[in-house]
């Protein structure tokens, strides 16, 4: 395409463009009218240009992403049937959630040696059971996702005790040195209302607690779990910035890693009214997860009719190859990635300087910081500056076909906790409860 | 293990692209009009939505064929106008690119970007007086709500749809905060270049 445009249009600069824009604005203030300031303290320009280009070199995975279906185990036989069905519908990964030990032989009947990736979410910690499971899945790709710190953050308690949890984890890592035992579950930070920079910083600080104990040997045996909201380009940049910073930190441990990242849609922005919009939200969120370079993506819902439709929409929309490279060298995304990384690194250093993530969690500092941002967002939502369609805008114009996958209150039972737990907060909740009351 | 000291850790920034396409110098570098899009457009004139009851079916055509036909029809219209002594600025103010958006996300984004580049190249020959004549007005008809995503990311000025669900992309995703958000992406720029080049060749061949 030699001289296709150069002949006709002389080259220029972002300064010249800005001048043009100021002419178009006809006296209105450029900064006030066209710049967007975000809760992260990032300024978005109305345009980005080659002559201000900046980027970080992001370590990206080589393999294409997998699509994961979540299955809750109530009985092994039922879960097995659901799993087989999901793989027939093109799921290439399965996540099993369990509240107590299960019989692996029953669960994995006809599922092994089929190139399926297995993920687990255990709401308990049982060393003997996990050892057995690791053995059963020795020839498979499996992520066991033990995260004692994440469990503390989410529930306010250790599984058993500080000492016991740590010793069980140590044994599991020692006995299963080739397996992905640990995960860093950062979804709670997004779901509770932390901003993008905080999420990255907390993910790193959370990770560094394990690195401090186990060192470089676990660097390539961790799976990271992220949740993506609908702030599209920020979510793409978030995962990229995390990938970069994880490696930066690993430099101090004299190692490198291409992080395994499992991503699911956020709970924070899902709504009961206008629930039909949730499908678009989830699809866009999965798309930013893919373009950010996640290795596995999951819809947030457990199986059922809603999810099957969702999966079909996803498969149809998101079947691109080499998706992890598409954002590379985009002026805007590279700018955001750098901004997020720079700001998250500052918070990470602060946390480390003050004794680390666990110590800030015990003091309640992390909880307070997340709450501050969540309240800021809530105020923006209440004022109508942060929009959720069908809820605080066009409130009666969208189908509210009930989305049973959403727990309206996102509230657990109350119990005694060691630290203040970090809990998911849905933006729409208060408004929905008022509306339900008014309509009753 | 002792806690590591991270206080001297810094990020390393690279300020050169590894891959630059020639048109990036000009479409990024020249007047905003060459992108065919006002830098201020979504801020001063919000993206329009039209609701339609028509049902459409996307013709089975490639972006290249679609753009070459658009250019040929535009040229034909312009020539008739000039023959009738109308000014170029007056003629092109009545022209819009009416397109149905397909579901190949990045190809559709590249298609709209290529459409604006080629439009400004076509219009340049007629030496318009108004800078705004270089800007192509794109009306994007979508079949499913999700297709609005590529239409908006590609920089259309109006979305024509059966319902309002696609407003999600305008209201909740933040994608209108900056124009041409995919500019620079190696993949998107490459597809833009391929589509623009092929479309121009097809257009040239059809008009000789």
Query: What pLDDT is attached to residue B17?
Result: 96
In a domain, A200, yes or no: yes
In a domain, A80, yes or no: yes
Given a contact cutoff of 8 angstroms between Cβ atoms, the answer to whether A384 and A392 are in contact is yes
Instruction: Compute the mean pLDDT over every residue in chain B, rounded to the nearest whole number.
Output: 87
Q: Identify the closest residue of chain B to A319 by CA–CA distance.
A: B104
- Indicate the pTM of the whole model: 0.95
Chain A neighbours among B 61-90 (CB < 8 Å)? none
Q: Token pair of B128, please?
A: 């318009």
Confidence of residue B29 (pLDDT cuts 50, 70, 90): very low
Residues A4-13 pLDDT 10s: 665 677 776 7
Q: Token pair of A123, please?
A: 């709401």
Contacts of A160 (CB under 8 A, 6+ apart): A125, A168
Most confident of A15-24, A86-95, B21-30, B159-168: B159-168
* Percentage above 70 pLDDT, chain A: 90
* Percentage above 70 pLDDT, chain B: 87
- Domain span at A106: 66-340
Query: What pLDDT is attached to residue A404?
Result: 46
Domain count, chain A: 1
Residues A222-243 pLDDT 10s: 999 999 999 999 999 999 999 9
Q: Identify the closest residue of chain B to A344 by CA–CA distance.
A: B11
Task: State yes or no: pLDDT of A310 exceeds 80.
Answer: no
Angle at A21 between CA B136 and CA B35, to 5 degrees: 30
- Gap between the Cα atoms of A288 and A297, Å rounded: 10
On whether any CB of chain A is under 8 Å from the CB of B7, the answer is yes
- Gap between the Cα atoms of B100 and B146, Å rounded: 13
Are residues B13 and A338, on separate chains, in Cβ contact within 8 Å? yes
On whether any CB of chain A is under 8 Å from the CB of B14, the answer is yes
Residue of B124, B178, B200 lying closest to A44 (CB–CB): B178
Are residues A320 and B175, on separate chains, in Cβ contact within 8 Å? no
In a domain, A35, yes or no: no
* Percentage above 90 pLDDT, chain B: 62
Instruction: Tell me the C-alpha to C-alpha distance, in Å, between residue B98 and each of A118, A305, A319, B140, B144.
Output: 47, 37, 27, 6, 17
Average pLDDT over residues A24-51: 89
Tell me the nearest-neighbour CA distance from A266 into chain B, angstroms.
Answer: 13
Angle at A360 between CA A358 and CA A366, to 5 degrees: 110
In a domain, A247, yes or no: yes
In a domain, A291, yes or no: yes
| Per-residue b or e along A328-343, where b marks 16 or more CB atoms closer than 10 Å to that residue's CB | bbbbbbbbbbbbbbbb
In a domain, A308, yes or no: yes
Residue of A314 and A21 predicted with greater confidence: A21
- Gap between the Cα atoms of A267 and A341, Å rounded: 24
Are residues A6 and B32, on separate chains, in Cβ contact within 8 Å? no
Task: State yes or no: pLDDT of B208 exceeds 90.
Answer: no
Task: State yes or no: pLDDT of A207 exceeds 90.
Answer: yes
Here the CATH number for the domain that contains residue A242 is 3.20.20.240
Are residues B25 and A327, on separate chains, in Cβ contact within 8 Å? no
Which of A123-137, A218-232, B20-34, B49-63 is least confident? B20-34
Query: What pLDDT is attached to residue A306?
Result: 52
Task: State yes or no: pLDDT of B143 exceeds 60.
Answer: yes
Confidence of residue B167 (pLDDT cuts 50, 70, 90): very high
Confidence of residue A1 (pLDDT cuts 50, 70, 90): very low
Average pLDDT over residues B114-125: 89
Residue of B157 and A144 predicted with greater confidence: A144
In a domain, A374, yes or no: no
On whether any CB of chain A is under 8 Å from the CB of B59, the answer is no
On whether any CB of chain A is under 8 Å from the CB of B25, the answer is yes
On whether any CB of chain A is under 8 Å from the CB of B119, the answer is no
In a domain, A398, yes or no: no
Tell me the nearest-neighbour CA distance from B85 into chain A, angstroms.
Answer: 25
What ipTM does the predicted assembly reach? Answer: 0.93
Tell me the nearest-neighbour CA distance from A213 into chain B, angstroms.
Answer: 6
Are residues A56 and B14, on separate chains, in Cβ contact within 8 Å? yes
Beginning with the edge strand found earlier in the chain, give each strand of the sheet holding B138-142 in spatial order: B48-51, B158-161, B138-142, B97-101
Task: State yes or no: pLDDT of A28 exceeds 70.
Answer: yes
Average pLDDT over residues A34-42: 94
């Amino acid at each position: 395409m030699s001289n296709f445009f150069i002949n006709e249009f002389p080259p220029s600069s972002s300064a010249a463009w800005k001048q043009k824009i100021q002419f178009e604005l006809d006296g209105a203030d450029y900064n006030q009218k066209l710049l967007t300031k975000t809760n992260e303290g990032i300024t978005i320009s109305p345009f980005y240009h080659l002559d201000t280009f900046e980027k970080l070199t992001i370590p990206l995975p080589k393999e294409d992403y997998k699509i994961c279906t979540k299955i809750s185990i109530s009985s092994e036989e039922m879960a097995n049937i659901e799993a087989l069905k999901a793989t027939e519908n093109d799921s290439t990964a399965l996540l099993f959630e369990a509240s107590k030990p299960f019989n692996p032989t029953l669960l994995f009947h006809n599922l092994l040696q089929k190139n399926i990736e297995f993920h687990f979410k255990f709401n308990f910690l049982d060393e003997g059971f996990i050892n057995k499971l690791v053995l059963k899945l020795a020839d498979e790709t499996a992520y066991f996702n033990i995260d004692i710190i994440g469990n503390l953050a989410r529930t306010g308690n250790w599984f058993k005790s500080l000492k016991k949890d740590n010793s069980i984890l140590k044994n599991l890592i020692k006995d299963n040195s080739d397996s992905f035992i640990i995960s860093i579950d950062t979804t709670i930070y997004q779901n509770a209302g932390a901003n993008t920079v905080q999420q990255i910083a907390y993910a790193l600080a959370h990770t560094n607690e394990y690195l401090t104990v186990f060192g470089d040997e676990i660097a390539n045996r961790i799976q990271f779990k992220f949740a993506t909201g609908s702030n599209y380009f920020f979510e793409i940049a978030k995962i990229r910035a995390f990938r970069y910073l994880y490696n930066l930190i690993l430099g101090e441990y004299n190692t490198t890693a291409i992080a395994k990242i499992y991503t699911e849609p956020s709970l924070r922005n899902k709504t009961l009214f206008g629930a039909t919009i949730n499908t678009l939200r989830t699809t866009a969120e999965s798309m930013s997860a893919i373009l950010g370079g996640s290795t596995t993506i999951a819809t947030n819902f457990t199986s059922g009719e809603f999810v099957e439709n969702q999966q079909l929409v996803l498969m149809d929309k998101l079947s691109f190859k080499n998706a992890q490279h598409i954002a590379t060298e985009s002026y805007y995304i590279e700018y955001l990635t750098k901004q997020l990384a720079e700001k998250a690194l500052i918070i990470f250093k602060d946390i480390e300087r003050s004794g680390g993530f666990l110590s800030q969690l015990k003091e309640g500092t992390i909880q307070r910081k997340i709450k501050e941002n969540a309240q800021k967002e809530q105020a923006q939502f209440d004022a109508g500056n942060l929009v959720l369609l069908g809820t605080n805008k066009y409130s009666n114009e969208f189908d509210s076909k009930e989305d049973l996958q959403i727990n309206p209150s996102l509230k657990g039972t109350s119990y005694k906790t060691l630290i203040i737990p970090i809990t998911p907060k849905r933006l729409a909740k208060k408004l929905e409860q008022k509306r339900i009351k008014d309509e009753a | 293990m002792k806690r590591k000291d991270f206080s001297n850790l810094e990020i390393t920034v690279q300020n050169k692209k590894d891959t630059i396409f020639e048109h990036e110098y000009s479409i990024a570098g020249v007047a905003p009009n060459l992108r065919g899009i006002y830098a201020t457009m979504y801020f001063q004139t919000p993206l329009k939505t039209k609701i339609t009851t028509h049902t459409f079916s996307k013709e089975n055509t490639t972006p290249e064929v679609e753009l070459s036909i658009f250019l040929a029809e535009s040229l034909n219209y312009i020539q008739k106008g000039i023959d009738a002594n109308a000014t170029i600025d007056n003629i092109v103010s009545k022209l819009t690119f009416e397109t149905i958006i397909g579901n190949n996300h990045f190809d559709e984004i590249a298609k709209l970007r290529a459409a604006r580049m080629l439009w400004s190249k076509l219009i340049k020959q007629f030496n318009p007086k108004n800078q705004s004549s270089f800007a192509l007005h794109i009306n994007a008809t979508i079949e499913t709500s999700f297709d609005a995503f590529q239409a908006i990311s590609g920089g259309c000025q109006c979305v024509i749809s059966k319902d309002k669900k696609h407003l999600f992309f305008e209201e909740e995703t933040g994608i209108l905060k900056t124009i041409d958000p995919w500019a620079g992406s190696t993949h998107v720029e490459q597809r833009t270049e391929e589509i623009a080049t092929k479309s121009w060749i097809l257009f040239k061949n059809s008009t000789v």
